[in-house]
Structure 1
Amino acid sequence: MTTTETESGTATPPAGEELLKVTGLKKHFPIRQGLLQRQSGAVQAVDGLDFTVTKGETFSLVGESGCGKTTTGRLLTRLLEPTEGTIIFEGRDISHLSEGKMRPLRKDVQMIFQDPYGSLNPRHTVGKIVGAPFKLQHVKTEGGTKKAVQELLELVGLSPEHYNRYPHEFSGGQRQRIGIARTLALRPKLIVADEPVSALDVSIQAQVVNLLEDLQNEFDLTYVMIAHDLSVVRHVSDRVAVMYLGKIVEIADRVSLYEKPMHPYTLALLSAVPIPDTKRRGKQERIRLQGDVPSPINPPPACRFHTRCWKAQDICKTVEPPLLQIAPGHQTACHFPENQPGAEAPRKATTS
């Protein structure tokens, strides 16, 4: 899919029906101390996100651990209550719906969890786990729940005979397939996949990724993919958003992002991706960022990346760069972006 540019200069998602729109999304976790548990601060896990997701696309969130990716996923599925901002799903504001009003929408918004074993109840059989959505949503299936569950198991590459087995009897890849089967039970429109392959062996990752792609094509699914493996993201994504310390610093289609990254942080992330080709490996310059990631309790003012950026100047410390479209379909939040048409060759940080 390609991203288009509007007359106002703002980036728009690929042509198609808008399924999800996020505006000014924030999640601050209060820090309480003392006998009276008074709030002394807050962890700014997510601090003002704006993006849209089009029906049928795969929109990926990437970034370092602790940047707010998983919190964003839990906000989108309303497993967490937003501090501020709006989440519009199919034209309806679901930002602050009560649990009762949100329950019917659970059929349309589902989540695949990172830990395939921790997300499955070890005391329940596979049949009971995968069949739980039908029971909770009071959905009647033709031929009964057992038949529906067995069909789901076949759909994700498992045997119907696994119906009466328990999670501990399966491998990691099989457990993730069970979790995917449960997610698909009610035919959701949006699936938030929180690092669905990070806990699996490399040999199994490709199988699960291919399964997710096949299911997307068959059922016209829309994915919000949360990941830190940039090789996997490049393979599965239509568009990619890069997060740093609770904010999105760059959004682009996968080709533009990987070939011409504009934000220095994105450039540093991509330089760390291993290259299997030994002839090309020696030509790659690794950008090593100086210092540690600042605390989300007290993030740096203005541009949050300026404490580690080799291009930082005074304006970066005083004025927060807005997320603007620099090239068609390519947004970045940087005062001095890389790879601009006609710009000078980018300066690098410490390399090795």
Structure 2
Amino acid sequence: MSQNKQSGNSETILEVKNLQKHFKVGNGVVKALDGVTFSMKKGETLGLVGESGCGKSTTGRTIIRLYEPTGGEVIFKGKKVNNLRGHDLKQFNREMQMIFQDPYASLNPRMTVADIIGEGIDIHNLASGKERLERIYHLLETVGLNREHANRFPHEFSGGQRQRIGIARALAVEPDFIIADEPISALDVSIQAQVVNLLQDLQKERGLTYLFIAHDLSMVKHISDRIGVMYLGNLVELAESIELYNKPLHPYTEALLSAIPIPDPKIERTRERIILEGDVPSPLNPPSGCRFRTRCPKAMPECAIETPVLKEVQPGHFVACHLYK
């Protein structure tokens, strides 16, 4: 696991303040994000985890402006992303890139690999002619593919190879920040570690900052400096990776971590498995107060009345829970 790369560099690259994203569905409103706040240091990896539908991917897509926020602010390198226009927006689109979850759907089947990778190079006028082609070859070799692959089409590759092409496309414009939206969940287990190791190597070489979105908690622990846990549109816990795994504070985090398989059967037999009661509430009609209270084994009367606020209860360890007033 990376060991707090950000500790030697205190420069903040991203601030997310009270971010909200609501979707109209029929006569109702889905509050996919309802006040998410966190910041990131240059060169670190922040893992974002939680069950399906908790708002992880929506967070990433709203930060990069694939979705326009309903409320709140995203500040990247000191500039409000919501206000960017013209040249500043184009520069932002170069500096922040995204690796998508599905390597089969995220690549245009009618374009060759060279055109897919070269598209960003062309948009930002980074190279042309022979230099452009050499840059594409170099990117392919950087992600473990061959220059001979440049003239092939996406359907000629495996899932792992396609994801490597997606990574090369993201790297083509020399970004500083990459949002990796479940980049390994669609891949075979044997390929997942290869892709994660590639991302870590690229981070060391290029000083990249990653927002790594995933539901595989063991993989997130391996790659992340800090981890944020989301539930139904809210961030419920945020801490350094080792701290979160060794000392989870929120009951939801405790339940998630209890479900991770442990290879040592002696430890497995002594560990308590926390089974959450009931289903995840509908985001169309979330519970009052704490959204987790309907499934929480430690719920108190005040949890139905007052919404807990994410606050620092130990150095660098934030939690939104009435147990820690």
For normalisation by structure 2, the TM-score amounts to 0.96
**AA at the equivalent of 2:19:** L
Give, in angstroms, the shift of residue 280 of structure 1: 1.9
Per the alignment, residue 27 of structure 1 pairs with 21
Q: Quote the Cα distance in structure 2 between the aligned partners of 1:122 and 1:276.
A: 40
Q: Quote the Cα distance in structure 2 between the aligned partners of 1:19 and 1:142.
A: 34
Contact 2:45–2:223 (CA under 8 A) maintained in structure 1 = yes
Per the alignment, residue 121 of structure 1 pairs with 108
Q: Within 5 Å, which residues of 2 pair with 1:153-302?
A: 153-302=140-289
For normalisation by structure 1, the TM-score amounts to 0.88
Distance 1:122 1:276, change over 3 A: same
Q: Within 5 Å, which residues of 2 pair with 1:83-94?
A: 83-94=70-81
Contact 1:61–1:224 (CA under 8 A) maintained in structure 2 = yes
Contact 1:14–1:54 (CA under 8 A) maintained in structure 2 = no
Contact 1:109–1:188 (CA under 8 A) maintained in structure 2 = yes
Alignment partner of 1:68 is 2:62: no
Post-superposition CA distance 1:65-110 (Å, at most 9, x none):
0000000000111111000000000000012434775223111000
Q: Quote the Cα distance in structure 2 between the aligned partners of 1:311 and 1:279.
A: 28
**Structure 1 stretches lacking a partner, 5+ long:** 5-12, 33-39, 341-352
Post-superposition CA distance 1:198-237 (Å, at most 9, x none):
0001100000000000000000000000000001000000
Per the alignment, residue 12 of structure 2 pairs with 18
Contact 2:5–2:43 (CA under 8 A) maintained in structure 1 = no
Of 289, 294, 305, 1:307 maps to: 294
Give, in angstroms, the shift of residue 121 of structure 1: 0.7
Q: Quote the Cα distance in structure 2 between the aligned partners of 1:99 and 1:294.
A: 41
Of 118, 136, 145, 1:131 maps to: 118
Task: Find the residue that maps to 1:282 and give its secondary structure.
Answer: helix
Q: Quote the Cα distance in structure 2 between the aligned partners of 1:48 and 1:91.
A: 20
Give, in angstroms, the shift of residue 278 of structure 1: 2.2
Per the alignment, residue 138 of structure 2 pairs with 151
Q: Quote the Cα distance in structure 1 between the aligned partners of 2:28 and 2:10.
A: 42
State percent identity of aligned pairs.
56
**Structure 2 stretches lacking a partner, 5+ long:** none
Q: Quote the Cα distance in structure 2 between the aligned partners of 1:3 and 1:103.
A: 29
Contact 1:3–1:253 (CA under 8 A) maintained in structure 2 = no
Post-superposition CA distance 1:154-209 (Å, at most 9, x none):
00000011111111111111100000000000110110000010000110000000
Q: Quote the Cα distance in structure 1 between the aligned partners of 2:4 and 2:141.
A: 34
Per the alignment, residue 42 of structure 2 pairs with 55
Contact 2:281–2:287 (CA under 8 A) maintained in structure 1 = yes
C-alpha RMSD of matched pairs (Å): 1.8
Q: Quote the Cα distance in structure 2 between the aligned partners of 1:20 and 1:31.
A: 30
Contact 1:85–1:95 (CA under 8 A) maintained in structure 2 = no
Contact 1:3–1:329 (CA under 8 A) maintained in structure 2 = no
Q: Quote the Cα distance in structure 1 between the aligned partners of 2:157 and 2:264.
A: 35
Give, in angstroms, the shift of residue 117 of structure 1: 1.2
Per the alignment, residue 343 of structure 1 pairs with none
The count of corresponding residues between Structure 1 and Structure 2 is 323
Deviates more, 1:296-305 or 1:218-227: 296-305
**Structure with the greater alpha carbon radius of gyration:** 1
Q: Quote the Cα distance in structure 2 between the aligned partners of 1:3 and 1:252.
A: 15
Task: Find the residue that maps to 2:150 and give its secondary structure.
Answer: helix
**AA at the equivalent of 2:31:** Q
Q: Quote the Cα distance in structure 1 between the aligned partners of 2:286 and 2:133.
A: 51
Q: Quote the Cα distance in structure 2 between the aligned partners of 1:100 and 1:228.
A: 36
